[in-house]
Amino acid sequence: MSENKDTPVMFAREHTLKIREMLTQAGAKPLCPRCNEELTVSGPVSAGEAIGPVFHVVCGPCRRHAAIRDVPGDHVVLNPDDA
């Protein structure tokens, strides 16, 4: 089955863990673990006290995305359009 180019696909678990690690490094701009392009990061959005803030991360070239939590908000470098 081929992937539809109009439908984003979730990052694999190992990629999501790498992205979370990049987001925890203060001031670092996260790069896609698949293609090494800069990721678009937006948020945080509140997911309630039990979960905490969640960031939405997208790689345009790979058409992958992820919802990342457990990241200190003051560490994340948001894209200029979202700041």
Query: Using an 8 Å Cβ cutoff, are 53 and 44 in contact?
Result: yes
Q: Which pLDDT does position 52 carry in this prediction?
A: 72
Q: How many CB atoms lie within 10 A of CB 59?
A: 25
- pLDDT tens track for 50-61: 667 788 999 999
What is the reported pTM? 0.72
Nearest to 56 by CA among 46, 68, 47, 73: 68
Q: What is the pLDDT of residues 23-68, one digit of tens each?
A: 888 777 899 999 999 999 987 877 667 667 788 999 999 999 999 8
Closest to 60 in 3D by CA, of 76, 82, 41: 41
What are the beta bridge partners of residue 66? Answer: 57
User: What pLDDT, on the 0 to 100 scale, is given for residue 14?
Assistant: 94
Dist CA 64 CA 60 (whole Å) = 7
